[in-house]
Amino acid sequence: MTIKPLADRVVTKMVEAEETTKSGIILAGSAKEKPQIAEIVAVGPGGVVDGKEVTMYVKAGDKVLLSKYSGTEVKVDGVEYTILRQSDILAVVE
């Protein structure tokens, strides 16, 4: 089963806390509105969104920082995903 995000949306999977620690990134506790690190699993096609041309500049596999309450959560095949607009992504971490 595949989730294909529409327009400028991306599907992300939260990176496990353990993995986060391993990579040296420590997020500021579990405070509200704090960003989170996530991995992109699917990227929408972009194109004209709300009358404006949007180019997708993130790709599957990218690790990204996002606000905890950005997007909408969905559980598919037992895995939790967050679907959000590319413009809600704060930064890519490498």
The footprint of its own copies (CB under 8 A) covers 1-7, 9, 11, 23-28, 33-35, 42, 44, 48-53, 55, 57-58, 65, 67, 72-78, 80, 83, 86-87, 89-94
CB 65 within 8 A of CB 94: no
Q: Is residue 65 within a helix (H) or strand (E), and if so which, with residue range?
A: strand 63-67
* Cβ at position 53, least distance to its own copies in Å: 7
Residue closer to its own copies, measured from CB, 3 or 39? 3
Across-strand partners of 11? 42, 83
Least Å distance, CB 35 to its own copies, is: 5
Q: Toward its own copies, which CB reaches closer, 4 or 16? A: 4
β-bridge mates for residue 66, sequence order: 36, 89
Closest C-alpha to 11, from 25, 22, 1, 23: 1
